[in-house]
Amino acid sequence: MVGGLLGLKTTGKNRPVQNPPLILVGCSGGPDSLALAAVCAFFATRGEVRVGAVVVDHQMQEGSAEVAQATAGQLRGLGLDPVVVRTVDLEHDGAGPEAAARAARFGALEATAHQLGADQVLLGHTLDDQAESVLLGLARGSGTRSLAGMRERRGMYVRPFLGLRRDETLAICQALGLTPWHDPANQDPAYLRVRVRNTVLPFLGAELGPGVAASLARSATILGYDADFLDELAEAEFVTLAQRSTESGTEFPQIALSENGLRGLPAALRMRVLALAAVELGGVQPSLERLAAAETLLARSGSAGPVQLAGKVSAWRISRKHSVPHEGASYGKLVLKRSS
């Protein structure tokens, strides 16, 4: 499984190569990532790849530094090299501690990969994690991309264990005599994901059958293909429609999108094009409500805006009563700009 995702053949024969590539395992010390590190250590002995690890200390719990160092010690004992411990400070921007920890973690993983020259970072998410992600997306009323859950590959990140159950990673640790760290936060019902894991999924399994987690993960795979296709189409339309400029007298960029071009798109693509513009300007993914509000500007029957999107990005249309000439560069355009 791991070897296939890394492009390695699992024939059992050693195939050492000159200057083998470095891959990193993001390891919290929990059973999933520790089992992944142990499996990857096998491939390191074959000489086809070098395997290192990154342990991120989020400083969210007392004794986190000791946990990180103990995890690093186990990883070095498995033969992983280099093993880097990164201590991060969380930036709370109103999105909650889980989102802040995730952002800090991925920032540390990416920075370490670039520093060490690693092309891939492996993460230990399992099928159970995938099922939880789909349910969380449903509960939040999210779109196709969110319901698609986590992808097996996205950029430098690879998740080889998405087909494994959490119990199987525990079995790997037990078989190899490893001592995983069990994060007490994973049992704290204050977190929605914990309630989904310990209450909602067991209930669904009891009522719908034990295969519900696998069914949810399978749905994520199908939706992932759909989301990828729609995202590709939206990206192509965005490239065609987007006109970038800087507002006179400021340093803030803005993007103008043809109103007629947007109106001619199916809703699924139109929403994505608007979101792409907002994100490019430094905003975050807007909610459905914000995107729908921006869409109403295209009707030219009410306010010309501005409509506030997420991340200080606003959208408005050039009104016919505006002093801009009808043949001007901005007329007939929906304009998005990020404020200071």
For residue 189, cis peptide bond before it (omega within 30 degrees of 0): no
Burial class (CB in 10 A: 0-12, 13-18, 19+), 97: middle
Q: What is the b/e burial string over 300-337, where b = at least 16 CB atoms within 10 angstroms of the residue's CB?
A: eeeeebbbebebbbbbbbbeeeeeeeeeeebbbbbbbb
Closest C-alpha among 253, 272, 252, 247 to residue 262: 272
Which residues lie closer than 8 Å to 340 by C-beta, 6 or more apart?
252, 312
The reply, when asked if residue 28 is annotated as ligand binding, is: yes
- Rounded CA-CA distance 148/134 in Å is 7
Axis crossing angle, helix 201-208 with helix 212-241, rounded to the nearest 10? 120
Coil, strand, or helix at residue 60? coil
- Which residues in 201-247 belong to E strands, given as ranges? 242-246
The reply, when asked if residue 30 is annotated as ligand binding, is: yes
The reply, when asked if residue 33 is annotated as ligand binding, is: yes
- Which residues in 103-175 belong to E strands, given as ranges? 120-122, 153-154, 157-158
Distances (CA, A) of 37 to 2, 122, 142, 170, 185: 10, 9, 32, 13, 22
The reply, when asked if residue 107 is annotated as ligand binding, is: no
- Rounded CA-CA distance 75/180 in Å is 11
Supply angle C-alpha 319, 322, 323, rounded to 5.
150
Closest C-alpha among 340, 278, 262 to residue 314: 278
Binding-site positions for ATP: 28-33
Binding-site positions: 28-33
